[in-house]
Chains A and B, each alone.
Chain A
Amino acid sequence: MAAVATGGTGGLGRFALRPEAGSFLGLIVVYTFFAILGGQNFIGSPGWSSWLNTAADVGIIALPVGLLMIAGELDISVGAVLPASSLTVAIISGHFGLPIYLGIASALGVGIAVGFLNGLLVTQTGIPSLIATIGTMFGVMGLTLGFTILIAGSTGVFITPDPLTKSLFGDALGGMFQVAIFWWSGFAAVIYWLLHVSPWGNWIAALGGDRVSARNAGIPTQRLTILLYMLSGFAAAFVGVTQVITFGSAQVAAGSSFIFNAIMCVVIGGVLLTGGSGSVIGIVLGTMTFAIVNQGIFFSGLNPNFGSIVIGALLLAAVLSNDTFHALALRHAAKRS
């Protein structure tokens, strides 16, 4: 990944002080571990495609969720937006047979609308975002199930996408690497720009650092928060679109695993839970680490039923190492002069 090369510039000492240093180390350790256990299959393209496909799906959601977390907010509703989006496509373009672009546009619209609602709730009511977005998650879940049963009469809806749509959103190169991987790279590039190159990044970090000071400094904090929620809603809906086109069907119950997986990728990637600090390269590395563990277990010969233990341990280790690296960076700054 290009991310590795970027992280390494400026010498080892400088790199160790970057916020993504911890997640990079974690990635190396985890990959080596599963490479030893998983052998040829894991090191070869079956292994790479397996974890990259997983990483791409959760990664597209983890990026904007990461921005929100840097801004000091959470978004739980992504887990409900994903199936809602899949079913929107399946019902409009599959069940009713309307053009696919209409289905996709509506699905993305659903995601953006839910994001807008989340943003309004969080900025206008003062309800903590964890609770507000759990609320909208249940709301969206209920609407999805209700309307799906009402319209299609079952909890799963089928769709046969045309070849062009399939190749854009749901194909797999060489039968293994899904196009979502490229979409993920695209999302990462755009969000990298937002957070690290454009002035918006400064606003997002300031928002997570101290909301009141950020507002006093002239940052439109409410509008920014709403936009960030719309972005995460859009991303979740986008993954919903790729999934329904990949699998040719949409299920009401899909998506809930994405809630914690996305947050986990972000945290493993070194984003501070309290907000105010984080990097896109870190989030990408964290997502890769998560996906390697998630899929590596199946290659390793370990009992996959126990796989969650490794993921849990990884999360705790990541938080501990993040704290260490943050402390290190601050101490370095103090000592230098």
Chain B
Amino acid sequence: MSEKIPVLELQRVDKSFGPIEVLNEVSLKVNAGEVLCLLGDNGAGKSTLIKTLAGVHKPTRGKILMDGQEVAFAGPRDAAGRGIATVHQFGGTFPLMSIGRSFFVGVEPTKGWGPFKRFDRKKANEIAVKAVQDFGITRIDDGERLVGGLSGGERQSLAIARAVHFGARVLILDEPTAALGVKQASHVLRIVNETKRRGLAVIFITHQVMHAMAVGDHFAVLIRGAIAADFRKGEKTREEITDLMAGGETMAQLEANVEGNT
């Protein structure tokens, strides 16, 4: 496993905003066909980390590598162009657009020529519907339906299918299951597994340990902007992970106070 060159790797990345240090020597790697779960409580620096990975923020120090080569993202579009796709908590961001239209925002299929190019609605709807159905979401069968009318899980699935369709290699999922019910969440987890099976590298951000354990190959716990624990599947129990996440900070202090070290 360690022989493989990670698709995306962070080496001792720091990020500060003025005097405030948000990320502190974060090192991570994620391989193709693997799910890396990033666990952390609110304020641990998860969103800053995601934005750094997605090209929104530039690291203050440290390196980002893709396929072993150092890269510097010029911006979110550059990162997206290199195959890094981010799907946010609420998935579809255009609730009043149809599935077919929102799927192809910015890359509309057209027919006709020159200034008389027409948006090819039929094709857009067909491709969009097929892309989600390939992920097992057969409930979506009409590309004319509005995104806002889909359930939270379906929206997530649509957004993931969209990223995969447009050639994403690294999929960053920002709390995809946080706002979902049990059944919806399990749909999304199934899609995460399917994405992994298709050979994408997935970074799954969550604070729900159960969801992480259901799909994760590799886990990293983020506390106060630093990686507090880094382990592989099966190395820690659910209780240990929960302790790490929920009580991480206080536990660490406690131990330091009592024993002087950890």
Q: Which residues of A contact B (CB under 8 A)?
A: 197-199, 201-203, 205-206, 209-210, 213-219, 272, 276-277, 326, 329-334, 336-337
CA distance A334 to B184 in the complex (A): 14
Q: What is the size, in residues, of chain B's interface with A at 8 Å between Cβ atoms?
A: 29
Task: Given A205-B96, A206-B94, A216-B80, answer yes or no on A334-B119 (Cβ-Cβ < 8 Å).
Answer: no
Whether the pair B149, A217 counts as a contact (CB closer than 8 A) is no
Instruction: Please report the C-alpha to C-alpha distance between residue A203 and residue B97 in the assembled complex, in whole angstroms.
Output: 11
Interface of chain B: mostly helix, strand, loop or mixed? loop
B250: interface (CB < 8 Å):
no
A334 touches B150 (CB 8 A): yes
| Residues in B lying within 8 Å of A, measured CB to CB | 76-77, 80, 93-97, 101-102, 104-108, 110, 117-119, 139-142, 145-146, 148-151
Q: A199-B110, A202-B101, A218-B106 are in contact. Are A330 and B93 (CB under 8 A)?
A: no
Q: When the two chains form their complex, are residues A214 and B149 in contact, meaning their CB atoms are under 8 A apart?
A: no
Q: A330 with B148: in contact, given A198-B119, A209-B94, A276-B94 (CB under 8 Å)?
A: yes
B80 to chain A: which residues have CB within 8 Å?
A: 216
Whether A272 contacts B93 in the complex (CB less than 8 A), given A205-B101, A329-B149, comes out as no
* With A197-B119, A198-B119, A330-B146 as contacts: A214 and B97 at CB distance below 8 Å: no
Chain B residue, CB-CB nearest to A220: B106
Q: How close is A162's CB to chain B, nearest CB, in angstroms? A: 32
Q: Which residues of A contact B141 (CB under 8 A)?
A: 337
27 contacts between A and B (CB under 8 A): A197-B119, A198-B118, A199-B110, A202-B97, A202-B108, A203-B105, A205-B94, A206-B102, A206-B106, A210-B93, A213-B94, A215-B77, A216-B76, A217-B105, A218-B77, A218-B106, A218-B107, A219-B106, A272-B96, A277-B96, A329-B146, A330-B95, A330-B146, A330-B148, A331-B149, A333-B145, A337-B140
Q: Which one of B77, B104, B146 lies within 8 Å of A216 (CB-CB)?
A: B77
Is the Cβ of A206 less than 8 Å from the Cβ of B97? yes
Q: How far is the CB of B110 from chain A (nearest CB, A)?
A: 6
Among B96, B107, B150, which residue has the most Cβ atoms of chain A within 10 A? Answer: B96
Q: State A332–B150 Cα separation when bound (angstroms).
A: 10
